């Protein structure tokens, strides 16, 4: 059950990264059309993360993974938007950084699983 809660925290951090970049793009970019849904998703994910933070203690190493998932969400949204709207710029750097960060997160999760089984 505890591993499921940790994965939920990581998914919420990822969605928060996606939605904060989506909110900024919708509000401040003239290329991306305005929509209210990233703002709604941002409010809900931040609220859920805040409730998890208040009600449960985070295990050692989980805040770093949550921050990495947040940054991964920001980078992936940036790469997708730049692929959809090439006038913004190239998506090479966000795509490469997100793949590298994804591998790092995978290695850290495997190391945590191995540490928990011992």
Angle at 71 between CA 66 and CA 91, to 5 degrees: 155
pLDDT value for 31? 86
Boundaries of every domain in the chain: 2-117
What span, in angstroms and rounded, lies between the C-alpha atoms of 34 and 23?
A: 9
Q: Is 86 helix (H, G, I), strand (E, B) or coil?
A: coil
What span, in angstroms and rounded, lies between the C-alpha atoms of 88 and 20?
A: 18
The pTM is what?
A: 0.91
Q: Residue 73 is encoded by which pair of tokens?
A: 């969400």
pLDDT value for 49? 93
pLDDT value for 113? 87
pLDDT value for 1? 58
What span, in angstroms and rounded, lies between the C-alpha atoms of 22 and 80?
A: 11
Q: Quick one: the chain helix, strand, coil %, rounded to 5?
A: 80, 0, 20
User: What b/e string do you get for 92-113 counting C-beta neighbours within 10 Å, with b at 16 or more?
Assistant: eebbebbeebeeebeeebeebe
What does pLDDT average to in each consecutive run of 10 residues of the chain (118 residues)?
80 96 92 91 95 88 93 96 89 95 95 84
């Amino acid at each position: 059950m505890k591993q499921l809660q940790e994965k939920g925290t990581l998914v919420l951090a990822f969605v928060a990264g996606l939605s904060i970049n989506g909110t900024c793009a919708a509000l401040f970019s003239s290329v991306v059309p305005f929509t209210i849904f990233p703002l709604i998703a941002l409010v809900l994910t931040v609220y859920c993360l805040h409730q998890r933070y208040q009600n449960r203690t985070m295990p050692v190493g989980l805040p770093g993974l949550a921050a990495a998932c947040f940054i991964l969400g920001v980078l992936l949204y940036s790469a997708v938007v730049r692929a959809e709207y090439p006038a913004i710029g190239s998506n090479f750097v966000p795509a490469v950084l997100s793949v590298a960060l994804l591998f790092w997160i995978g290695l850290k999760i495997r190391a945590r699983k191995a540490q928990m089984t011992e």
